Amino acid sequence: MRPNPSQTISKSALKVWRIIGGIETLFYLAIPIAYYFMKDFFEAPTWVTWLLLAFAIIIGVIKIIVIPTIRWNRWRYEVYESEVDLQFGIFIVRRVLIPMVRVQHVDTRQGPLLRKYKLATVTITTAATVHQIPALSEEKAAMLRDHISKLATEADGDV
């Protein structure tokens, strides 16, 4: 049996994912706020406001604390000469092997939050789909992109 990948993503990914979870939670908090102002118009009960607020807070705690921690603990990758091995998932753990001969191109991406924390995402494009290794340090992402590109070029030459 193949061992699990050993490489982890940056610990700063937790900060980025928690900020994103906080922003998403603000949208969930808009629901009880909107209900609070609309309840008098529709003569709806007040207790529903508190119930919706409790759900929004619970979802916020899950999105800000629980999911980023589990996601960071599960994300692993490994680059071999003939393939890239990815392991990720929160409830369903996926294991993806990307053969180097299938790699069409590799690049790095940064959004505003990733740039603030000096992180980048490596994207690996094959004919069928695009795979990502999220939240690596900028230097590590650039080195990994170049390494995978070199291995893919060598693998393509062997065919």
pLDDT at 39: 86
Gyration radius from the chain CA atoms? 21
pLDDT band at 42 (very low <50, low <70, confident <90, very high): confident
> Whole-prediction pTM value?
0.85
pLDDT band at 136 (very low <50, low <70, confident <90, very high): very high
Mean pLDDT of the chain: 93
* Integer Cα distance of 12 and 137 in angstroms: 9
Task: Please enumerate in sequence order all residues whose Cβ is within 8 A of that of 39, keeping only pairs 6 or more positions apart, or say none.
Answer: 45, 46, 48, 49
Percent pLDDT > 90 in the chain is 86
Q: Residue 90 corresponds to which tokens in the numbers above?
A: 């929160």
Residue pointed to by tokens 């706020």: 33
Q: What is the pLDDT of residues 48-66, one digit of tens each?
A: 999 999 999 999 999 999 9
Beta strand segments in 10-93, E: 76-79, 83-88
